[in-house]
Amino acid sequence: MLETNDKSIQTQEQLQELGSALDSGAFVRVRRMLNALPAATIAHLLESSPHNAREVLWQLVEKTNEGEVLNFLNEDIQADFLGKLSPEEVASMTEGLETDDIADILQQLPEKVINQVLLAMDELDRNRLETVLSYQEDTAGGLLNTDTITVRPSHTLDVVLRYLRRHNEIPLMTDKLIVVNREDHLVGILPLRKLLVSDPNDTVDQVMITDYDAIPVSMSANEVARLFERMDLVSAPVVDEDGKLLGRITIDDVVDVIRDDADHSLMGMAGLDEEEDTFAPVLKTSKRRALWLGINLLTAFIAASVISQFSETIDKVVALAVLMTIVASMGGVAGNQTLTLVIRSMALGQIGKTNAGWLMNRELKVALLNGILWAVVAAIVAALWFSDITLGYIFAGAMIINLLTAALAGAYLPMLLKSLKIDPALAGGVALTTITDVVGFLSFLGLATIFY
């Protein structure tokens, strides 16, 4: 945490220094300062800058650094910059980047422009990219990198070592060599830690690991991330349905998947895109937020229509208007606790048909215990506050009903939305709030109408 705070302070200091230099018109100094920084830091500074300053800073990034910087930017800003470039400029800018990174960048462009960029590349790069782009972005195929080092089982370790020394450098995140046969089918892996300490006269098949499951190309990106986490992997080979090697996935791409998934869960609760640009222009930001504000207004009218059905009861007992929001609020909090837990567990692959019933039963029991506890407290407070014991009973009963409903909705909604191909992180919160508001008002005012 301390390290994160230090980096945040450093970023703000760098922004202040660059801002002062820009205001003074010292563009040569800004260019020198900017391009002396690592590409990831430049990208972070761009993301942390207001829109107008960002445009100026991007113009000052050296052409040789643009591709690397672009790779570290979030998708929203990437798309903004890419939209102003020609296909030839995009092809030139991405030259030298890893295949999976280029694919991620190109996926921000329209299909027609992607084809034009591919045509502007040399044949080898184009073939590699077309392979990666043929797979869905959220699968292992969309994450794979074709830059791999393969060896044959019959080679001696001495031959392998001499082969490696012929390279100026080996691909980043290489912790293992991939062993394939003549048809490029995966037969095992050779960890570098074993290669370096084994007898050079041994053959690869004598020291390689054969008890190793490669990643199927169709595996979802989230499943890949969980596999890397469980097995503490740095890299892993990817194969097609016939076991033929297609490439490998490295930990840096898996970290991106984990971060994007966390951002999606956090931002989705507010109806925002995980790639939302903090410093996007006013109109662009307003359009994105307008949809969910409209949906929220619609659900608020639904709740209001329920209240309107009991206007006569509220007129007779004014205390109901004071207390009814508490019932809805308690249900909303309890439901969000369950909803967040279930969405997280679904993302981790922990919930399935075998245990969903047990979890729902557990949540109902928890809601009942908490409902009874806080219903008693609320009933006593309401009865003393308004000198009306009947109101206390009504308050307690409505709170228990709404907490049980909230637990049921929080547990069931994510699974229902997922089965309907709707993102639970995006729509779950709005749907849950509507349910707890409607049930909270209906139970409280309905019981009041009966008793009064």
Do both 314 and 199 map to the same domain?
no
Distance CA 265, CA 260 (A): 9
Residue 273 lies in a domain: no
Boundaries of domain holding 257: 150-268
- What's the CATH number where 255 sits? 3.10.580.10
Long-range contacts: 104-109, Cβ < 8 Å, 24+? 104/71, 104/137, 105/70, 105/71, 105/78, 106/133, 107/133, 107/137, 108/75, 108/78, 108/79, 108/82, 109/79, 109/82
> What percent of the chain stands above pLDDT 70?
92
In a domain, 21, yes or no: yes
- Do 248 and 264 lie in a common domain? yes
- How far apart CA 392 and CA 382 sit, in angstroms, is 5
Evaluate whether residue 276 is within a structural domain: no
Place of tokens 């215990």: 369
Do 398 and 305 share a structural domain? yes
User: Sorting pLDDT into bands at 50, 70 and 90, what band is 270?
Assistant: low
| pLDDT above 60: residue 4 | no
10-24, 48-62, 330-344: least confidently modelled range? 10-24
Are 173 and 113 members of one domain?
A: no
Looking at per-residue pLDDT, the higher value among 27 and 329 belongs to 329
Please check whether residues 307 and 431 belong to one and the same domain.
yes
Number of neighbours of residue 430 by Cβ within 10 angstroms = 17
- The structure tokens listed for 309 are 């059905």
- Amino acid identity of residue 137, one-letter, is E
137-160 tens-digit pLDDT: 889 998 988 888 999 999 999 999
User: Is the Cβ–Cβ distance between 73 and 47 less than 8 Å?
Assistant: yes
Q: Per the domain annotation, does 47 fall within a domain?
A: yes
Average pLDDT for 271-287: 68
- One domain, residues 133 and 18: yes
Domain-terminating residue out of 217, 243, 268 = 268
274 falls within a domain: no
Rounded (10°) CA dihedral 416, 422, 428, 431: -80
Paired strand residues for 216: 239
Closest of 74, 122, 136, 129 to residue 106, by C-alpha: 129
Q: Band the pLDDT of 15: cuts 50, 70, 90.
A: low
Q: Is the pLDDT of residue 277 over 80?
A: no
Are 303 and 435 within one domain?
yes
Q: Which of 86, 118, 143 is the last residue in one of the domains?
A: 143
136 and 155 housed in the same domain: no
**Section 296-318 average pLDDT:** 83
Q: pLDDT digit string (tens) for 55-92?
A: 888 888 888 888 889 888 888 888 888 888 888 888 88
What's the Cα-to-Cα distance from 73 to each of 31, 70, 381, rounded to whole Å? Answer: 19, 5, 53
Pairing of strands 176-180, 186-191: antiparallel
Asked, for residue 39, whether it belongs to a domain, the answer is yes
CATH code, domain carrying 420: 1.10.357.20
Query: Does residue 35 contact residue 43 with C-beta atoms inside 8 Å?
Result: no
Task: For residues 313 and 338, state if they share a domain.
Answer: yes
Choice between 196 and 130, residue whose per-residue pLDDT is larger: 196
Which residue, among 338, 353, 316, 306, has the nearest Cα to 407 in the 3D structure? 338
More confident residue, 293 or 450: 450
Chain centroid offset of residue 337 CA: 20
Looking at residue 138, its pLDDT comes to: 86
For residues 184 and 295, state if they share a domain.
no
So what's the pLDDT on residue 174?
A: 92
Average pLDDT of span 420-448: 87
The tens digit of pLDDT for each residue in 208-235 reads: 999 887 999 999 998 999 899 888 999 9
**Is there a domain that residue 323 lies in?**
yes
Domain count, the chain: 3
Would you say residue 54 has pLDDT above 80?
yes
Average pLDDT over residues 189-218: 92
Long-range contacts of the stretch 323-327 (C-beta < 8 A, 24+): 323/382, 323/391, 323/395, 323/444, 324/440, 324/441, 324/444, 324/445, 326/378, 326/395, 326/399, 327/395, 327/398, 327/399, 327/402, 327/440, 327/441, 327/443, 327/444
Q: Is residue 446 part of a domain?
A: yes
Domain co-membership, 202 together with 340: no
Which of residues 96, 118, 143 is at a domain's end? 143
pLDDT, position 422:
81
Q: What is the CATH number of the domain that holds 69?
A: 1.25.60.10
pTM: 0.67
Q: Kindly state the tokens that stand for 382.
A: 């309401």
Residue range 281-306: mean pLDDT, rounded: 78
N residues, the chain = 452
> 303 or 181: which carries more pLDDT confidence?
181
Are 138 and 218 in a shared domain? Answer: no
pLDDT of residue 1 exceeding 50: no
